[in-house]
Amino acid sequence: MRRVIRKVFRNKVFDRKVVLITGGCAGIGRALAVRFAQAGARLVLLDLDQAALDSLAQHLADHHNAQVLALRCDVADAAAVSAAVALAVERFGGIDVLVNNAAIAQSSPFAETELAVFQRVMAVNYFGALHCTQAALPSILARRGQIIVLSSLSGFAPMLYRSAYNASKHALQGLFETLRLELADSGVNVMLVCPGFTATDLRKHALVGDGSVTPQPLPLVGKVYSPQDTAEAIYRAAVRRKRLLVHSNVNWTARLLARFAPRLFERLLLPRLSGLKVRTAR
């Protein structure tokens, strides 16, 4: 059965297409790079670790015969993003798919979180996606391509002590839902992806209130997906040019309750999603 499923999705949709992935060295980004390489795509990978980029590029070339341009780039730096996208267009002729995946996490009570932490989280999670999309949009429009945005359950269902992270994901939802409407007649697809708990290193590098890295990884709750599971779900949704992918063990339940029954959401799902005890007022 697994062979049949794999055969169905081993198609020519992304063969020779140019796919740019931010945060491409680890976790979901790395898994997506492998999956699109398997589909015959040419890859542009942006990340901060040049050694890891070079290693992954070599792996993709050796094992998947992929053409890869691996560039060190801080997506929070608009000028650096513009230069990286220009190099990608020069190398491959354009960009067909942009995957805005780069992100950092945060875990601390709002009252104990310094302004610099909010600024850094927004700089990467929100402005990073904005910078990449602005730079790549002319090429994507010309090729009637796709923009894929890694949001989160936090984009519609808040979690305790993640105010900076939640805010960045809400901002992404608002930006790209609006962009989708503006591009409705352009042939460009905008897909928001809301993964559930995925076993990546993002939770190990979350910022706490003073800007340092958390001494303990953020908790994983309920069913935990591997990066490969989530990447496969994103790939299949991209083949179908879906508008929204909610890939989570709580899926639509959290989305509907958070919007239409917030008190029920807070009582039933908030502790589970946060992996923490709810602080209730007396």
- Residues labelled catalytic: 165
Q: What is the 3-state secondary structure (H, E, C) of 69-89?
A: EEEECCCCCHHHHHHHHHHHH
Which residue, among 220, 102, 189, 113, has the nearest Cα to 150 in the 3D structure? 102
Kindly list the distances between the CA atom of residue 173 and the CA atoms of 106, 156, 178, 180, 188, in Å, as whole numbers in the listed order: 18, 8, 8, 10, 17
**Cα separation, 279 vs 273, whole angstroms:** 14
Burial of 195 (0-12, 13-18, 19+ CB in 10 A): buried
Which residue, among 152, 136, 161, 25, has the nearest Cα to 81 in the 3D structure? 136
The DSSP bridge pattern shows strands 189-195 and 146-150 to be: parallel
Degrees to nearest 5, angle at CA 54 with 53 and 60: 90
Contact 163, 105 (CB under 8 A): no
**Cα separation, 222 vs 153, whole angstroms:** 14
| C-beta atoms surrounding 259 within 10 Å | 11
